[in-house]
Each structure stands twice: as structure tokens, then as C-alpha cells.
Structure 1
């Protein structure tokens, strides 16, 4: 399954309800798994983004569905990125014309 990095940032609402964030994070994990995804890692970060979720999804549409569902809560914005392992990157480069 392809791997995706979901970069999240708290909205004003999310900051106002930050104490509920650990519980919401567990719900996010459950939602991703209910879509057939695999929750790999989660980090709270300092800097431009407030959190990073690393998950596998069956396809782009499922990853987008998860990102929209997370954002729909109003607590975070989400920037999804498809990620490639080093081996996948090597295969991409090796296949270049």
C-alpha cells in the first residue's frame, strides 16, 4: 500500500480545544483504520506544522477521504503528501528514460 504523510496544523478551534487533542488523535487512528488504512506513526511537532501522521492507504482516493474527514472536524487543516521509500525512489530513478 502506498505511504502518505499527513501534515496537520491546528485551527483556532483546535487550539481552543487542544486538551481534547489526544482523544481526537485516537479517533483519527480509528477512522484511518476503518477506511482500510494502516496508522504507522504520529508525532506532535514544533514549527510550521503541529502534527505529522504517517499512514498507508490503498489508493489516493482513500488518502484524500481520510484527509477530508480529518479537516471536516474543524480542528486541523491537513496537507497530504504521498511518500516513497528509498527502494521505491531507486526504482523510479532506474526507470527514467
Structure 2
């Protein structure tokens, strides 16, 4: 299954709700991800541009997109970005295939 790295930022209202009623959001993330057939591998909060990061897997990009749409539609996040992670083996395969692509740079 493909691996994904998601970065999220809560809205100020979400932080206010969590301050008033602290909860471990890992369980919610596990449940959400499992609902599309995926698995949560890690959940971290952070300082900086994003409030947290998740490492997870899902059966395919459509499942990942469904989860992202549902989360974004919920209004608790001000941003949600997901990066598809590739294994070293997949990247090596892509490099080998790139040598066979018939590509001409613009203007050449």
C-alpha cells in the first residue's frame, strides 16, 4: 500500500476546543484512516508552519483523497497537505524508466 505523509494545521477554534477538552486525536486519526482501509503509522505534533504530521498508508490515492476531502470538509483544519512517499526501490525503478522516456526540452 502507498505511504503518505500528511501535514495539518488546526484552526484557532479547534485549538480552543482542545484546550477546553483535551483529547488524544491519534484514536480519531486511526479510526478515520481505517475507514478507508488504511493504517496509521505515526502521529506527531510540532512547532512551526504546521501543527502536526501523520505517517499512514491507504490502499490507493482515491482512498487517500476521500479521507482528505472528509477531513477538510469538517472545518477543524485550516490546512491539510499530503505527500505520496515512494520507496527507494520504486524511485530506482522510476529512474531506470526515465532513461527510456522520449523527451525533448522546450526550444531544442
Asked if 2 retains the 8 angstrom alpha-carbon contact of 1:5 and 1:53, the reply is: yes
3-state SS, counterpart of residue 47 of structure 2: coil
Q: Structure 1 residue runs of 4+, over 3 Å off?
A: 19-25
TM-fit CA distance, 1:25: 3.3
Is 1:89 matched with 2:91?
yes
Aligned partners of 1:73 and 1:23: how far apart in 2?
18
RMSD: 1.7
Deviations 1:48-82 (A, max 9, x none): 11111111111111101111222222222311111
Q: Which has the higher helix share?
A: 1
Instruction: Give TM-score scaled by structure 2 length.
Output: 0.78
Task: Provide closer, same or farther for how the CA distance between residues 66 and 83 of structure 1 changes in structure 2, counting only shifts above 3 A.
Answer: same
Runs of 5+ consecutive residues of structure 1 not aligned to the other structure:
none
Q: What is the Cα deviation at residue 35 of structure 1?
A: 1.2
Matched, 1:12 2:12: yes
TM-score, normalised by the number of residues in structure 1: 0.86
Task: Pick the structure with greater CA Rg.
Answer: 2
Stretches of structure 2 that go unaligned for 5 or more consecutive residues are: 100-108
Quick check: 13-22 or 3-12, which moved more? Answer: 13-22
